[in-house]
Amino acid sequence: MDDIVSNHDLEELECELDAAAAKESRKARRRTAIQDIEPGAEWNDVEHAILTRRSIRKFKGRQVPAHMIRRILEMGRFAPSQGNNQPWSFVVIRDKAMIAEMEQYCVAVCKNMTATIDYTNYPPGSEQRAAIMENTQKLNRDNPNSFHPVPMTAIKSIANGRFAVFHRAPTVILILMDKRGVGVPEVDIGVVGTNIVLAAQSLGLGTCWIGFSKLLSSNPALVEKLGVQAPFEIAEAISVGYPIGNPTQQAISRQTHQIVWWEDGNKEILY
């Protein structure tokens, strides 16, 4: 019986074989969907870009080609956002006179700020110091983040001319935020900027986040000139250029942060 096989039987057998093959291939596809790396594996390209990214504050004079800026902005376009709302738009400034105007305004604001809130301008124990300290402490209660000692030191350096707000970068990207964004649009601005910064890093460009760009918002004429219109506001800026030296020479060491780790009903503190 075994060696007599009808056409019908053959077709059935083929169908069965096809079905089995399809099942196998489905299984294989599902298996390949999970690709765990071995513990201690080498860094991949994305990890490498993250680890070698530094905030670059000293740039070469050479302008970045326009297509590269378009390319990194394109990476920003594909950033995740709350409700896929994409509450951002951009202003790219490659005009030296415009950057100089922005810089000039920020320096003027910083000069004004140091005069009114920097108590370290006066010697300890002096009356002026006590008066300004009191004023600053009041302001600090309302805006604790703005009066952190690190930006305070930076404000002082900017006012002294030791430190340029936009780091004399050839290109400055302003990230504008739609105030009506879903949830917390500030977070989305952070995410879009991170995409831009990492893409730039992978292309050999240097970037730096410029939080002081917010100072520009207090000058309506300049804001209008830049092309910022409500409901958009200046949320952040990123300076882009070619870094001086080779900041990707080696990954740096950094502090570790607490991780509370819950697993199998146990709580652990890791660093």
Partner 1 sequence: MSDATVRKASVPPDHLPIWDDPCEAIYHRVTIDLDKCDGCKLCVVVCPANILELFGPKENLKARLKGDANGCMSCNNCYAVCASQGIMATEPYDFAGFYEQKQISEFMFPRKF
Site residues (vs partner 1, CB under 8 A): 39-43, 51-52, 54-58, 119-120, 124, 133, 136-137, 140, 144, 147-150, 152-154, 157, 162-163, 244-258, 271
Give whichever of 172 and 177 is closer to partner 1, judged by the CB atom. 172
Q: How many Å is the Cα radius of gyration of the chain?
A: 28
Shortest Å, Cβ 47 to partner 1: 8
Shortest Å, Cβ 157 to partner 1: 7
Query: Across-strand partners of 269?
Result: 260
Give whichever of 43 and 78 is closer to partner 1, judged by the CB atom. 43
Give whichever of 109 and 210 is closer to partner 1, judged by the CB atom. 210
The DSSP output letter for 150 is: H
Shortest Å, Cβ 146 to partner 1: 12
Rounded to whole angstroms, the Cα distance separating 51 from 253 reads 10
Phi, psi of 38 (to 5 degrees): -75, 150
- Count Cα atoms within 13 angstroms, Cβ side, for 157: 12
Give whichever of 95 and 134 is closer to partner 1, judged by the CB atom. 134
Give whichever of 7 and 258 is closer to partner 1, judged by the CB atom. 258
Query: Across-strand partners of 232?
Result: 178
Shortest Å, Cβ 168 to partner 1: 12
Give whichever of 129 and 214 is closer to partner 1, judged by the CB atom. 129
Shortest Å, Cβ 271 to partner 1: 4
Shortest Å, Cβ 266 to partner 1: 19
Nearest to 211 by CA among 100, 81, 106: 106
Shortest Å, Cβ 30 to partner 1: 26
Which residues contact residue 55 at a Cβ distance below 8 angstroms, ignoring those fewer than 6 apart? 207, 208, 209
Give whichever of 82 and 140 is closer to partner 1, judged by the CB atom. 140
Q: Is the peptide bond before 231 cis (omega within 30 degrees of 0)?
A: yes
Rounded to whole angstroms, the Cα distance separating 252 from 182 reads 36
Which residue in the block uniquely carries the two structure tokens 């299984």? 27
How far from 114 is each of 79, 107, 182, CA to CA, in Å?
37, 11, 36
